[in-house]
Chain A
Amino acid sequence: MSLKNEEAEVVIKVKRYTQEKGFYWQEYKLKVDRFTQFTEALRRIKSEQDPTLAYRASCHMAVCGSCGMKINGEPKLACKTLVLDVIKKYGSNVITIEPMDYFKPVKDLVVDLDDFYNRMHKVKPRLYPSNEVLEGKAEHRLKPEDQKVLWKFAQCIWCGLCVSACPAVQEDPEFLGPAAHAKGFRFLADPRDTITEERLKILIDSAWRCTYCYMCYNVCPRDIEPVTAIKKTRAFSRLAKDKTEVIKTGEKHTEAVHSSIFDSGKIMGSRVYLSTYGLLGSMKEMIFLMQSGKLKYALVKEKAVENIQEVRKLLRG
């Protein structure tokens, strides 16, 4: 075994920001090898070239969530991204780095995450076990398969990338955003939790405000699939008391789209979703929010797909 190493000269263009100067671009040249992470590139820029550059980084192994930023326009963790990979992908040695979208800039690549933290705290992100368990009179036994499902959604590292990329967050102040929904679902689905009703009140209305654009799914560095959490949360709709208009409209549209797929096997126009993720797997609950004014993807009936019986079987099952 010997590792293949390659080297390259790279020009990193950083979109910088100060309160006084606003945004401006600055270029740094440096040599990187096959193994250089963007956090390491930034660390070297800071200690060898320009100590005034501000950015966040801590673990350099994609578990602390500090280093979210845009690299060549893509929302990424800097530590989880290798410089050489980006050069290859884009066929260019010039790379841009920008702060995450949506959040207020503080300085250079550092953005203000208070809004993000508020969202996370709104969903009461902690288990409320029964008193018997807390007092040691009863014991939790979590099934391995439940542990697996919950752990998937519990792995959010609060990096904020999904929120920075989410169109619904930008348009709808009532929407909690993808990460908070992943977190909220992790506790909603925990069989040991005791405040389900309160959680439903917090989560259900918001869950119907997501546009199912799948940006959060695409950008999440921990493969949390916040949109899947939202989808699964909507399935709890039935249990919600005091349904809001948004919930009712959402449920109605689910029905409508369900029957559209049932007839034709397709939802047209939802290209992002269809092309990326395939139709059949989990179509049943995968419906967009179609509140008036937010109807981003129209339903177009077309010729029925050939294996329509298969689709129907899936929908019934």
Chain B
Amino acid sequence: MEKLSYDAVIIGAGLAGLMAAHEISKAGYSAAVISKVFPTRSHSAAAEGGIAAYVNGNSDPNDSPDYMAYDTIKGGDYLVDQDAAELLAYKSGEIVELLEKWGALFNRQPDGRIALRYFGGQTYPRTRFVGDKTGMALLHTLYERTSGSGKVDFYFEWFAWELIRDESRVRGVVAFDMRNMIPFFFKAKAVVIAAGGMGMLYRHTTNSYIGTGDGYAMALRARVALKDPEFVQFHPTALYPSDILISEAARGEGAVLKNAKGERFMTRYAPKKLDLAPRDIVSRAIITEIKEGRGFPGGYVGLDISHLGEEYIKERLALAYEAAKTFSGVDATKELIPIRPAHHYYMGGIDVDITGKNPDVIGLFAAGEAACVSVHGANRLGSNSLLETLVFGRETGNEVVKFLQSFTEPSSDIDKEAEKAEQSAYDIVKKESGVHFGDILEKLRDYMWEFVGIYRDENGLKNAVSEILKLREQMKNMYVLDKSKVYNTEFYNALELKNMIDLGLVIASTALNRKESRGAHYRTDYPKRDDQNWLKHTIAYLSGNTVEITYKPVKMTKWKPEERVY
């Protein structure tokens, strides 16, 4: 197998991966960034509404980083590690100013300072934005900056398949060049997984097609734990029927949810915060309205922005306007936008501390949506994720640098392991006939949506676990029709499916285990939060068909759990 050698290999070229790569290369270490797609096509590009930040001298005069940490902790239903939330809040202003210096074109106030808007769950408005294409603006800025130094090597349209580790430490990554299927062993002293989320596990998702959970599954196969895997976020306002996100910025700017009777139904569910209640609460409210017959035919409700005026809409909510027009044929300046909840974000992820370090394997780090630090706890607040990618991308990069400074070369040879990993990729699809990935994939997405979705219960979750195990068995008979070595996307889709199934099994199993309702994890059979028994992080390993579950305490600093009312 061909070999390359780097100080650090970063899997993922979204905001988290690029930020980590920037820090590592700035310190003089060699860094390779591997990505399935050209960096600017990473999922971060799709983020719309904004990035939360307390900026000194440019925030609401009553606001403070402590309020920001508190909102984050309460929003996350107290499953948030409070030291992580504080770090996120205290570094937020600095990170936004850094991106601004690098040329990110944030919307401005009349005096030239960065503008701000409200997002769900915020006591004071603190979301900074670039129209409603904030992710695109930040990702391009960061890619352009990182690619300019000439010190980071980009391997885009490369598929990372397996982590290579020895008894105690990570030794590199096996990845395929997608253009010609040639496998490479990227030897590395440190590996950062920043491979983003997993939306494709769900029938309805706002995520990109490339969000297939590869990073989580790669970690699981390397005997690395996921933290809080049962916590999956659904976004209340995805466009019907294409599931394209209508940003929370819309509600931040004053949009109102209405049912088919024309009622502003959020008055029933969150009398104080109304449409700006956190996502889990609004998502459940919408599903309840639809279930109880107050939705529109087809199963959706309306989002009203028409009162904001055409000019304002086209400047600040351009994408929402454009998406409603192009994809649902609705003119949002005059009509309701048809919306329903869809999968949106994964709070769970690779277990790391606030430096991005994983406790299972030396030299392994994770950042961004792939990681669970955890700042989002049981439910992420809107515009905290872009912030997380940058703040913790940078923290992780710095920690990798420290790690590299005291690194000593291992003596053992590991090339055999890499060859085994290559073989394992081909093993998945070595059959000449059998089932095809499409058949398995579509079933998986339906089971996840039906049984491991917004409302969950014991029967559904048990059903999901057993069905997913069946799909896992069926995968052994999967085959690939395309035998060519050039850009064989079918082969990579098959590898992605393997990843999705492994992850799906872990999500369903841990959701079955958590017998309470907290944040986005809602059990109709256990509708109450239960701090007595469940104020703890789930830690899950995958071993064969068994999901091994242990627990770990939540880190508390200043804030005692209180009832979560909005």
Write the residues of chain A forming the contact surface with B, with a CB cutoff of 8 angstroms: 1-4, 18-20, 34-35, 37, 39-40, 43, 46-48, 50-52, 54-66, 80, 82, 106-108, 110, 113, 117, 121, 124-127, 129, 133-134, 140-144, 147, 150-151, 154-155, 157-158, 187, 190, 192
Contacts and interface: CB of A to CB of B under 8 A. Distances in A.
Which residue of A2, A59, A187 has the most chain B CB atoms within 10 A of its CB atom? Answer: A59
B438 A126 contact: no
B407 interface: no
A60 B46 CA distance: 9
A124 B150 CA distance: 12
Given A59-B45, A154-B137, A142 B144 contact: no
24 contacts: A3-B240, A4-B329, A18-B484, A50-B481, A51-B438, A51-B482, A58-B42, A58-B45, A59-B208, A60-B242, A63-B45, A63-B46, A64-B46, A65-B40, A66-B41, A107-B486, A117-B38, A129-B103, A133-B101, A142-B112, A144-B110, A157-B45, A158-B40, A192-B103
Contacts of B319: 61, 63
B136 A63 contact: yes
B475 to A, nearest CB: 15
Interface in B115-165: 130-131, 133, 135-137, 140-141, 144-145, 147-148
A37 B38 contact: no
Interface in B216-273: 240-242, 244-245, 260
Contacts of A127: 101-103
A4 B328 CA distance: 9
B111 interface: yes
B394 to A, nearest CB: 16
B298 A134 contact: no
B487 A106 contact: yes
Contacts of A48: 438
Contact of A2 (B41, B245, B296): B296
B179 interface: yes
Nearest to A110: B487
Given A1-B335, A59-B46, A60-B208, A47 B438 contact: yes
A42 B106 CA distance: 35
A147 B330 contact: no
A39 B100 CA distance: 34
A151 B131 contact: yes
B100 A140 contact: yes
A64 B244 contact: no
B436 interface: yes
A58 B210 contact: yes
B38 A113 contact: yes
B235 to A, nearest CB: 13
Contacts of B437: 47, 51
Contacts of B490: 46, 51-52
B62 interface: no
Given A61-B323, A133-B101, A151-B130, A2 B298 contact: yes
A178 B135 CA distance: 24
A312 B548 CA distance: 80
B59 interface: no
Contacts of B42: 58, 64
Contact of B40 (A46, A64, A133, A154): A64
Contacts of A37: 242, 327
A113 B488 CA distance: 17
A139 B491 CA distance: 50
B60 interface: no
A3 B46 contact: no
Given A51-B436, A157-B40, 10 more contacts: A3-B298, A3-B329, A3-B330, A51-B493, A55-B489, A80-B326, A134-B101, A141-B112, A144-B110, A190-B103
A37 B210 CA distance: 17
A60 B442 contact: no
B43 interface: yes
Q: Pick from A40, A58, A150, A192 the residue with the most CB of B within 10 Å.
A: A58
B487 A107 contact: yes
Contacts of A144: 107-110, 112
A2 B296 CA distance: 7
Interface string B464-486: 00000000000000001110101
A47 B439 CA distance: 8
Contacts of A151: 105, 130-131, 137
Nearest 9 pairs of A and B residues by beta carbon: A127-B103, A141-B112, A47-B438, A52-B482, A107-B487, A126-B144, A64-B41, A51-B490, A144-B108
Nearest to B44: A64
A40 to B, nearest CB: 8
B371 interface: no
A136 to B, nearest CB: 8
Nearest to B315: A148
Contacts of B144: 125-126
A29 B350 CA distance: 42
Given A1-B296, A126-B145, A154 B140 contact: yes
Most B CB contacts (10 A, CB to CB) among A35, A37, A64, A141 go to: A64
A230 B46 CA distance: 28
Contact of A147 (B105, B140, B209, B328): B105
Nearest to B302: A1
Contact of B489 (A2, A54, A63): A54
A157 B39 CA distance: 11
Contacts of B210: 58
A28 B556 CA distance: 58
A80 B41 CA distance: 15
A190 B43 CA distance: 27
A150 B105 contact: yes
Contacts of A108: 487
Interface string B510-522: 0000000000000
A66 B41 CA distance: 7
A213 B7 CA distance: 49
A71 to B, nearest CB: 14
Nearest to B40: A158
Nearest to B441: A47
B101 A61 contact: no
Given A107-B486, A151-B131, A126 B40 contact: no
Contacts of A52: 481-482, 484, 490
Contacts of B296: 1-2
A254 B534 CA distance: 74
A47 B141 CA distance: 35
B363 interface: no
Contacts of B111: 141
A141 B40 contact: no
B488 to A, nearest CB: 8
A125 B148 CA distance: 8
A198 to B, nearest CB: 13
Contacts of A124: 148
A18 B180 CA distance: 12
A38 to B, nearest CB: 12
Contacts of B130: 151
Nearest to B482: A52
B46 A121 contact: no
A86 B140 CA distance: 31
A55 B111 CA distance: 46
Residue among B102, B107, B110, B486 with the highest chain A CB neighbour number at 10 A: B486
B37 interface: yes
